[in-house]
Structure 1
Amino acid sequence: MPLDLNFEKKLNKIVARDMAAFPGYLRNGSGGVETYQGEFEPPMIEEGQEQKYLKQLLASDSTVTDKALTLMYHNMRQQMFYDGNKRTAPP
């Protein structure tokens, strides 16, 4: 199965099914995340932008490892889902 935003949604639905209010759905609200440096307010998620970002990343000349790490960091930083962002990000 190719890696795309729908795959990430399916993965999140599995890893966050017992913790998130809306597993498998992109976050559509605001809300801070507690970090050791204080509160972090992630940007609003726009599905079209996320699809474009993923497509560009996968088409880049980066190594597979670099793509995976870049996507993992991006997903965690964006807080794309209500819960399970670290578990959803591809290793």
Structure 2
Amino acid sequence: GMLGGLLTFGMSIVTLSFLITTPECWVPNLADGATYPHDGLPYFTGAHGFPLLSGAGRLVIKDVIMSAGGLLVAAEAARRFLARRAA
């Protein structure tokens, strides 16, 4: 019940911290310093970095749902515990 919900929430928060600590979670700059010879502009000028998630980042973001589910389970278990204690 409540312990499982809290452990699930805690695990999800730890995994979500990878979004901050792991650069591979964001789309990298694909230019790699390569430029066009005639004007010096980079080959790739598309978007990269925050808020664009890479495949690894999209895998980590699923933990938002798991953390919400863990909190829901813990809250329901706490509600039942308090209702039993009051009766």
- TM-score, structure 1 length as denominator? 0.25
Bigger strand fraction: 1
TM-score by length of 2: 0.26
Structure with the larger RCO, 1 or 2 (CA within 8 Å, 6+ apart): 2
Which of structures 1 and 2 has the bigger CA Rg?
A: 2
